[in-house]
Structure 1
Amino acid sequence: MTAAMVEHQQDSEGRPWDYLLRTWQGLDVPEGWRAEIDEGRIFLVPPPHAHHNGIAEKVQRCLYANLPDEMGIYQTLGVHVAPLGKLYVPDLVVMPSELIDSADPDTSAPMDASDALLIAEITSKGNAREDRTKKYRAYARAGVPMYLLIDRFDTRGAMATLFTEPNEDGTYKQSDPAPFGKPLVLPAPFDVTLPTDGFPG
């Protein structure tokens, strides 16, 4: 990740989060890049490798198999982790479609991460640590029921892990890891088995 030159500043009323959010909303980010807010700074995340996008497409296709009509799957959707003052742009977010449809068309305000049913992150070499630690804790604190971490750079070997039952302390009670090549069961409302044997390492 690359840190932008926006950090530790405040708006006219002394609110650093509001200043960062307005700056984030006004950024002209190069195509394919993402801007995220973490630790009081705006970070620019470069476009991922083609293998990364290939995995995202396979996961999305699998999730659609039994997806309830009222839910949608979104890429490049900013989500606000309110308890921590963070804003991430996950690889995939499953969220009620009505929340997306009712969003203010005149602003690029992020959605509340606590409204997500599932968030998926696919690691790249430059951000694997953040996905395993900072984002894991943030999504748990936000109460995201399911965090799907697809870690191509896990030291134990490429691994897909579903974390469930979030705690307010920033951890998940349950984890279900599956090495690439082994299926990973995703519970209701998805009720699908994610085949990882086609994931490029």
Structure 2
Amino acid sequence: MPENTIVQNQEQQVKKLKRFLEGWRMAVLPLKSIMLWEQQWHPCAIVGSVSFVYFLIWLMDLNSLATFAVVGLFLNFVDFIVPVICNSLYGANSWTGQHEKMYEDICKSIVANYNKGLHNIQQFYSLRESSPCMYYILSISLLVTFAWVASSINNIFLLYILSTAFLLWPGVRNKGIFNMLLSMVNMAPKSIKSE
């Protein structure tokens, strides 16, 4: 696909996302700073919020279907109440050009990360055509590992770990913590084989 078509497609995706998040735009700006850990207490706030939600789920001790229903109700409530609160707290005049630029940058970042993830998934599935042996080795290994982990660890705890890691990942990338850990591993002394 030509580069120009990809750029046009991304611009259309950004416009759609901006329209979709229109009611949330005043909430998205502070969420960005929290997700990227612009303050030292932001990682603690993320972990504390996720821990509180999962603590409530654990206290309710619902079966799986009821848990999904309660989480769905909560998400619908938040999706309804956040635009109402944002519109009542901030007037139409409080939205500036700087806010619009930040909002567009956030939407571009979301679209770029979404497309990157989609491209990685497509590359993995293209292995089925180009290298079927590698595809089946990888997919079977991953599925067996996931099945073993899911059977060994409580599912709610596993979801807690995964959602905490998912929400902390943008800050980890932004602060360069992952790259720092990789460089530390690379700088570790290599063991010398004796002959």
Note whether the superposition's TM-score is higher than 0.5.
no
Give the structure-2-normalised TM-score: 0.28
Instruction: Return the structure number with greater helix share.
Output: 2
Which structure exhibits the higher relative contact order, with contacts defined as CA atoms closer than 8 Å and separated by 6 or more residues?
A: 2
Instruction: Return the structure number with greater strand share.
Output: 1
> Larger Cα Rg: Structure 1 or Structure 2?
2
